[in-house]
Chains A and B, each alone.
Chain A
Amino acid sequence: MWPCQPDDGGVDEHFAVLGYNVKSSDMAGVAQKLEQLEEAMGSFHQEGLSQLADETVHYNPSDIASWLESMISGFNPIPEFDSSSDPFLESSASVNSQMPIDLDFGSDLIAIPGKAVYPRTQPPPPEQNQPQPKKLKTSIAAVAPPPPATPLLVDSQENGIRLVHTLMACAEAVQQENFKLAEALVKNIGFLAVSQAGAMRKVATYFAEALARRIYKLYPANQQDSAFNDMLQMHFYETCPYLKFAHFTANQAILEAFAGKSRVHVIDFSMKQGMQWPALLQALALRPGGPPSFRLTGIGPPSHDETDHLQEVGWRLAQLAESINVEFEYRGFVANSLADLDAAMFEIREGETVAVNSIFELHQLLARPGAIEKVLQVVSELKPEILTVVEQEANHNGSAFLDRFTESLHYYSTLFDSLESCGGGGEEAVSVQDKVMSEVYLGRQICNVVACEGVDRVERHETLEQWKSRFGSAGFEAVHLGSNAYKQASMLLALFAGGDGYRVDENNGCLMLGWHTRPLIATSAWKLR
């Protein structure tokens, strides 16, 4: 059908809708493996089964052929396997060795041996490697299906629905440049919003304000005030689990990538207050074999006041590193845009393992043509062991205003709804101030998506699927986050007060955190092919 179908007959369509990638040519093999696995599980000792469940790390269950293979090889019997074995068995490369894992629940980040102690029994499944010439991609893009809209309706009360319809009608009027109608509708929204309670009221108010700004061309000033933004983000960090999850899962991937390396260098595109790094430093300090020597390069925007904020953050991290005996070096780079950086600036040293980390930064580059390509080019020149990326899981960068509006309305409604449930009980109750600041933080994003255009519109969120093709074109392939990262993330969420509605989903090797059934942020890891 499509010109780019691989020659092996392609993926089985029936299985594809069920969420599994199986090549049609592999179908018989998969059926056979299922039977093999069934037999093996039937005859294997119960203890072995729990090994497979609790200690083995599983990767990308969507690639069912490889996953089955790894399960089956996990059943290869060890001669004279004794359940009361001593810890020295850990040196064996087998998945079935029984090493007690010390789970220290006190630390924020648990140093999961993962790949380091249990080498994967199967290589991570390679992505369906098709050559991706640019010409082919444009022809596919021309007939791409409409992007999915994923609403989560909470309390479908009549007034709430009318409010949403009015918002949509107003956005449509704006798109058609019928500003008289839009003006009338936006006033209506104000009244309807007041009749709502909780999340819907706040979201509607922010969207109404953003629409009004667009209609009256009163564009928001000071959107780029970084110090203010950082402060807001800190409150957001405290209020709800999204940022903590982002840091946590990225750190897990980095930790695994640094296994066995003695000199490491993290380049952080999203330095801000450096909140991600204490946990990684601690995990590295605790890892068996001792910490590596650690170098951190933090990138940040220029500050508007006199303080050298980047240096201050570096200094605090240096103090922490000293207290836990991790050899630490820091460098801060001020840059207006990531696209201003060149690979040579980082002065990568011989024998140094590099990790590049970007949390909610890359989408901003999409505001200027060529910027993302330049940055990904620079990253590939750094030859990183891993590139960790966390981005909002939504397409707020569609070419039509109405599409962006609809998508972001769904997205932020869900996000605000999750905020409503935060801040009750737990040891550290979330303060009202934290919550309000988080709302302001999100409100600024809403304003940017709806009211701004051109280079000012920096909140150009795109979905993981979209990022995948960008990373693919730049020469990167996915590193799969496994079930241990998933498990740890779930435990982290359980500790979070009000964690009831949060869900972690595994999606083709990436982890997504969402509210009930709607994924909201996606963490992924990449390496050069």
Chain B
Amino acid sequence: MLRRPDGTFNRDLNEFLDRKVTANSVPVDGVYSFDTLDRPTGLLNRVYLPARDNEPQLGIAEVEKPLSASEVVPVILFFHGGSFVHSSANSAIYDIFCRRLVQTCKAAVVSVNYRRSPEHRYPCAYDDGWTALKWVNSRAWLRSGKENDLKVHIYLAGDSSGGNIAHHVAVRAANENVEVLGNILLHPLFGGEERTESEKRLDGKYFVRIQDRDWYWRAYLPEGEDRDHPACNVFGPRSQTLEGLKFPKSLVVVAGLDLVQDWQIGYVEGLKKYGHEVKLLYLEKATIGFYFLPNNEHFESLMDEMKSFIQS
């Protein structure tokens, strides 16, 4: 309904229908949040931090001290999903998810409000992701560790298109020597010209159709490009090699009822082929977006896996 056949998008109606929440610097269930706007780049990030026990709750974000000078507090740089088109860092579904991440992983979370298509195509989302990574890396107040060895311990994470972005940002980080400790991809968005078996089998079965997926790729990729573009088909005929790259370890979560799963499994195989550490969590009966509601065991397994991934 929002996706028009001519490739344009009913942005106003989309934003009208999206449920948004404000940040809250008063801790709720041990998590508080605030938004930061980096004026030079225009990038907005929503930062979620665990509430410190003995700090006065003044409602002003604590940005002068490091996260911890005694232990490591990981920072998860999170890219929300929405097939590059929908949602924002302040969407209710992602706000609540990021808060759960803080609680489960005992981490700080930075959610990036990257520019979306079709108004902003490739490579805007990746550029924004890279800007965000540099921003996070340079925040003194996101550092943690031992007193004389403070640094920002960064993990990249994302669901759907966010997973795709996390991968590409990780590649760039590896190329430019910025340390990323791990990647967490929740049913990441990959694809290609070929129609895989899972796409044919699950087309239209769980609220998602191949033609929708095609529309989103057409909206994101440069005009005239096809789905074998390296942004989309990461290990396809036009992709860059990951050989010898200091690529972080990955946790890839695949939902068994997601029609794109063959591409995701192909991604895992591709990483293995280049000798990169990767763990696949395959949740047979899960549909996409299963992690938005905590009322199922898929959600529990996901949280457990993520926790041990970050803590190992």
Tell whether A pairs with B: yes
A19 lies within 8 A of B5 (CB): no
Check B58 against A406 for contact (C-beta < 8 Å): yes
A residues neighboring B (CB under 8 Å):
14, 17-20, 38, 41-42, 46, 49-50, 52-54, 58, 61-62, 145-156, 158, 161-162, 164-165, 168, 402, 406-407, 410, 417, 483, 486-487, 490-491, 500-501, 503-506, 516-519
Rounded to whole angstroms, the CA-CA distance of A434 and B58 in the bound complex is 34
**B147 proximity list for chain A (CB < 8 A):** none
> CB within 8 A of A151: which of B5, B28, B59?
B59
Given A18-B96, A20-B19, A406-B59: A148 and B26 interface contact (C-beta under 8 Å): yes
Contact status of A53 and B13, CB under 8 A, knowing A149-B59, A152-B34, A153-B61: yes
Contact check, B36 vs A53: say whether CB atoms are below 8 A apart.
no
Contact call B15/A504, Cβ cutoff below 8 A: yes
A20 to B44, alpha carbons, bound, how many Å?
25
With A17-B92, A17-B96, A506-B16 given, is the CB distance from A153 to B34 under 8 Å?
A: yes
Closest Cβ of chain A: how far from B159's Cβ, in Å? 15
Flag B1-43 by CB within 8 Å of A: 1 or 0 each: 1101100001011011101111111101000001111110010
B34 and A62 contact, CB distance less than 8 A: no
How far apart sit A145 and B16, CA to CA, in the bound complex (Å)? 28
B10 touches A19 (CB 8 A): no
Given A19-B92, A155-B39, A517-B44, verify A61-B61 contact (CB < 8 Å).
no
In chain A, what residue has the closest Cβ to B11?
A490
Contacts of B24 in A (CB 8 A): 148-150
Smallest Cβ-Cβ distance to A488: which chain B residue: B12
Closest B residue, CB atoms, query A503: B15
Task: Please tell me if B225 contacts chain A, counting CB pairs below 8 Å.
Answer: no
Q: Give the Cβ gap from A474 to chain B, nearest Cβ, in Å.
A: 27
Q: Are B39 and A14 in contact (CB under 8 A)?
A: no
Question: Residues of A contacting B294 with CB < 8 Å?
Answer: 14
Which residues on A sit within 8 Å (CB–CB) of B2?
53
B1 touches A483 (CB 8 A): no
Chain A residues lying within 8 Å of B204, measured Cβ to Cβ, are: 42
B292 within 8 A of A: yes
Instruction: For the complex, give the distance between the alpha carbons of A470 and B297 in Å.
Output: 43
Known: A38-B207, A152-B37, A154-B37. A406 touches B60 (CB 8 A): yes
If A14-B293, A18-B292 touch, whether A154 touches B39 (CB-CB below 8 Å) is: yes
With A58-B17, A156-B36, A516-B37 in contact, do A148 and B22 touch (Cβ < 8 Å)? yes
B293 contacts A165, C-beta separation under 8 Å:
no
Closest chain B residue to A167, Cβ basis = B60
Given A406-B58, A519-B22: A151 and B35 interface contact (C-beta under 8 Å) = yes
Residues of A within 8 A of B113 (CB): 517
Q: Which residues of A sit under 8 angstroms from B53, Cβ to Cβ?
A: none
**Chain A residue contacts of B63, Cβ below 8 A:** 153, 156, 161
Nearest-neighbor residue (CB-CB) of A44 within chain B: B1
In the complex, chain B residues whose CB is within 8 Å of the CB of A151: 23, 25, 34-35, 59-61
Q: Which of A483, A500, A517 contacts B22 (CB 8 A)?
A: A517
Interface centre among A14, A18, A147 (most CB of B within 10 A): A18
> A58 and B16 in contact (CB under 8 A), knowing A19-B92, A161-B64?
yes
Q: Which residues of A contact B15 (CB under 8 A)?
A: 486, 490, 503-505
Shortest B294–chain A CB gap in Å is: 7
Complex Cα–Cα for A162 and B42 (A) = 23
B75 at the A/B interface (Cβ < 8 Å)? no
Complex Cα–Cα for A145 and B24 (A): 12
List residues of chain A with CB within 8 A of the CB of B90: 517
Please state if A517 and B23 are interface contacts (CB–CB under 8 Å): yes
| Bound-complex Cα distance A17 to B44 (A) | 22
Contact present for A486 and B39 (CB under 8 Å): no
| B143 interface residue (CB < 8 Å to A) | no
Report the minimal beta-carbon distance from B128 to chain A, rounded to whole angstroms: 15
B13 in complex: contacting residue of A58, A62, A146, A165, CB < 8 Å: A58
Task: Beyond the given A406-B60, A483-B16, A500-B42, please list 14 additional residue pairs across the A-B interface where CB-CB is below 8 A.
Answer: A14-B294, A14-B295, A18-B19, A53-B13, A54-B13, A58-B17, A150-B22, A150-B24, A153-B36, A158-B64, A486-B16, A517-B89, A517-B90, A519-B22
Measured between beta carbons, the chain B residues less than 8 angstroms from A506 are 16-17
A516-B63 Cα distance, complex, nearest whole Å: 20
Among A152, A153, A487, residue most surrounded by chain B Cβ atoms (within 10 Å): A153
Q: Which residues of A contact B89 (CB under 8 A)?
A: 517
User: Separation in Å of the A482 CB from the closest CB of chain B?
Assistant: 9
Task: A54 to B21: give the CA distance in the assembly, Å.
Answer: 25
B residues within 8 A CB of A490?
12, 15
Query: Would you call A518 and B35 a contact (CB within 8 A)?
Result: yes
Most chain B beta-carbon contacts within 10 A, residue among A17, A164, A483 = A17
Which residues from 34 to 88 on chain B have a C-beta closer than 8 Å to any C-beta of chain A? 34-39, 42, 44, 46, 57-61, 63-64
Please give, as numbers and ranges, the residues of chain B lying within 8 Å of A517 by CB-CB distance.
20, 22-23, 35, 44, 46, 89-90, 113
Interchain CA distance A46-B295 in the complex, whole Å: 36
A402 to chain B: which residues have CB within 8 Å? 58
User: CB-CB < 8 A to A505: which residues of B?
Assistant: 15, 20
Query: For residue A41, which residues in chain B have a CB less than 8 angstroms away from its CB?
Result: 1
B36 to chain A, nearest CB (A): 4
| Least distance between A498 CB and chain B CB atoms (Å) | 13
> Which chain B residues in 79-127 approach chain A with CB under 8 Å?
89-90, 92-93, 96, 113
Measured between beta carbons, the chain A residues less than 8 angstroms from B19 are 18-20, 61-62
The 8 Å CB contact of B20, one of A19, A38, A58, is A19
Minimal Cβ-Cβ distance residue in B for A505: B20
Q: In the bound complex, do residue B59 and residue A165 qualify as a contact, i.e. CB atoms below 8 Å apart?
A: no
Chain A nearest CB from B4 CB (Å) reads 7
B211 → chain A, closest Cβ, in Å?
Answer: 10
Shortest CB–CB separation between residue B12 and chain A, in angstroms?
Answer: 4
Whether the Cβ atoms of A146 and B64 lie closer than 8 Å is no
Closest to B38 in A: A155
Bound form: Cα–Cα A58–B10 in Å: 13
Distance of A148 Cα from B26 Cα, bound (Å): 6
Complex Cα spacing A46 to B3, Å? 10
Contact status B12-A487, CB under 8 Å = yes
* Bound Cα distance from A519 to B15, whole angstroms: 14
9 cross-chain pairs, A with B, having the tightest CB-CB distances, nearest first: A19-B19, A149-B59, A19-B92, A148-B24, A150-B22, A487-B12, A153-B36, A149-B25, A517-B90
Question: For residue B46, which residues in chain A have a CB less than 8 angstroms away from its CB?
Answer: 517
Cα separation A162 to B64 with both chains bound (whole Å): 8
B17 touches A61 (CB 8 A): yes
Residues of A within 8 A of B28 (CB): 145
Take A18-B19, A406-B60 as given contacts and tell me if A50 and B4 are in contact as well, using a CB distance cutoff of 8 Å. Answer: yes
Q: Given known contacts A158-B64, A483-B16, is B37 in contact with A46 (CB within 8 Å)?
A: no
Q: Report B-chain residues with C-beta under 8 Å of the C-beta of A417.
A: 37
Contacts of A54 in B (CB 8 A): 10, 13
Contacts A/B (CB < 8 Å), 12 sampled: A18-B92, A19-B19, A20-B19, A38-B207, A53-B1, A54-B13, A153-B34, A155-B37, A155-B38, A162-B64, A486-B12, A517-B46
A17-B96, A406-B59 known; A152 and B35 CB under 8 Å? yes
